[in-house]
């Protein structure tokens, strides 16, 4: 979450400032679309703003490039666009209908992602409406997948859990609260190949035993997913596959 926003030209750019004791320098860099500033805790905010002012043209150019790249990754829901489902590319088919509600269907045989939108909404910007509908469908499909695979891995690993919830997280595929034996997964999970989903399930179940990312934790994960580190690299490299 951004600490605040700075305005350069027409753009409000989110900024996060981190203070450190053991540094005399100031570093400015983008992480995603957020401008990160690392500085000495003794350096005043006034000085930070001065440095930003001195570099605002470069900051603005970088920010616009990032927005442009992000826009290319985000779905616009045009016929012919691709969306990943269980690691396979499905083709989006967009239709208007005389029905009053948005309808989204998966045709796994023909690898099509069919979106039927009410004719009355034809002239409106429908992206937000479709985004919500797609996220609901992905949530349902992720839950369906977890209903089978989570009990399977739980039994195999001799690890119990009390609850499992699926939400709309974008920064993580899964998380675990060991004290409550609670698991949380992103609805984007179902967009990944099945072996990658299983690796994430095993990762989170392993946190029931080890709450941290210690050597013991990764040893346990690799006991069930020997190529876990290869999968982890793939997930980081292919994060764009789950953009909506």
d(CA 70, CA 119): 29
- Of the residues 73, 92, 122, the one at which a domain ends: 73
Same domain, 175 and 222: yes
Taking residues 123-141, report their average pLDDT: 87
Which tops the pLDDT comparison, 122 or 227? 227
d(CA 116, CA 95): 5
Same domain, 222 and 185: yes
Predicted pLDDT of residue 58:
92
We report the CATH number of the domain holding residue 213 as 3.30.2010.10
Predicted pLDDT of residue 235:
92
Predicted pLDDT of residue 69:
67
Same domain, 116 and 146: no
Same domain, 95 and 33: no
pLDDT tens profile 177-208 = 999 999 999 999 999 999 999 999 999 999 99
Q: Average pLDDT of the chain?
A: 89
Taking residues 140-166, report their average pLDDT: 97
Taking residues 102-115, report their average pLDDT: 95
pLDDT tens profile 15-49 = 888 888 777 788 898 877 788 888 888 888 888 88
- Tell me how crowded residue 206 is: count the other CB atoms within 10 A of its CB: 26
d(CA 44, CA 95): 56
Number of structural domains (the chain) is 3
Structural domain boundaries, residue 151: 139-242
Mutual orientation of helices 45-54 and 56-73 as an angle, nearest 10°?
Answer: 80
> Would you say the C-alpha torsion 203, 204, 210, 214 has a positive or negative sign?
positive
Same domain, 187 and 222: yes
Same domain, 129 and 145: no
Predicted pLDDT of residue 132:
92
Both tokens assigned to 131: 């985004």
- Of the residues 73, 96, 125, the one at which a domain ends: 73
Predicted pLDDT of residue 71:
60
Residue 174, pLDDT above cutoff 90: yes
Same domain, 69 and 50: yes
Same domain, 145 and 228: yes
Q: How many residues does the chain have?
A: 244
> Would you say the C-alpha torsion 70, 75, 76, 79 has a positive or negative sign?
positive
Most confident of 12-21, 48-57, 60-69, 212-221: 212-221
Mapped to the 3 state alphabet, what secondary structure does the chain carry? Answer: CCCEEEEECCEEEEEEEEEECCCCCCEEEEECCEEEEEEECCCCHHHHHHHHHHCHHHHHHHHHHHHHHHHHHCCCCCCCCEEEECCEEEEEEEEEECCCCCEEEEECCCCEEEEEEEHHHCCCCCHHHHHHHHHHHHHHHHHHHHHHHHHHHHHHHCCCCCEEEEECCCCCCEEEEHHHCEEEEEHHHHHCCHHHHHHHHHHHHHCCCCCCCCHHHHHHHHHHCCCHHHHHHHHHHCHHHHCC
Predicted pLDDT of residue 72:
60
Predicted pLDDT of residue 172:
87
Residue 2, pLDDT above cutoff 60: no
Predicted pLDDT of residue 1:
43
Q: What band does 107 get if pLDDT is binned at 50, 70 and 90?
A: very high
Same domain, 153 and 110: no
Place of tokens 């429908």: 126
Same domain, 233 and 185: yes
Same domain, 131 and 220: no
């Amino acid at each position: 979450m951004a600490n605040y926003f700075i305005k350069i030209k027409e753009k409000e750019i989110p900024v996060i400032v981190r203070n450190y004791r053991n540094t005399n320098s100031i570093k400015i860099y983008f992480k995603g679309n957020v401008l990160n500033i690392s500085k000495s805790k003794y350096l005043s905010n006034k000085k930070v703003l001065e440095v930003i002012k001195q570099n605002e043209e470069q900051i603005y150019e970088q920010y616009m490039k990032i927005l442009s790249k992000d826009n290319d990754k985000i779905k616009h829901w045009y016929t012919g666009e691709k969306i990943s489902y269980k690691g396979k590319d499905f083709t989006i088919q967009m239709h208007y209908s005389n029905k009053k509600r948005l309808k989204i269907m998966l045709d796994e045989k023909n690898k099509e992602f069919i979106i039927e939108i009410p004719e009355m909404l034809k002239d409106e910007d429908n992206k937000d409406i479709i985004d919500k509908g797609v996220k609901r469908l992905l949530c349902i499909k992720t839950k369906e997948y977890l209903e089978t695979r989570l009990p399977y891995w739980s039994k195999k690993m001799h690890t119990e859990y009390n609850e499992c919830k699926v939400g709309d997280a974008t920064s993580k595929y899964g998380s675990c609260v060991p004290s409550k034996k609670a698991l949380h997964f992103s609805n984007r999970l179902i967009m990944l190949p099945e072996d990658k989903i299983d690796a994430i399930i095993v990762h989170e179940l392993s946190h029931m035993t080890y709450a941290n990312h210690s050597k013991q934790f990764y040893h346990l994960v690799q006991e069930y997913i020997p190529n876990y580190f290869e999968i982890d690299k793939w997930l980081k490299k292919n994060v764009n596959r789950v953009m909506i």
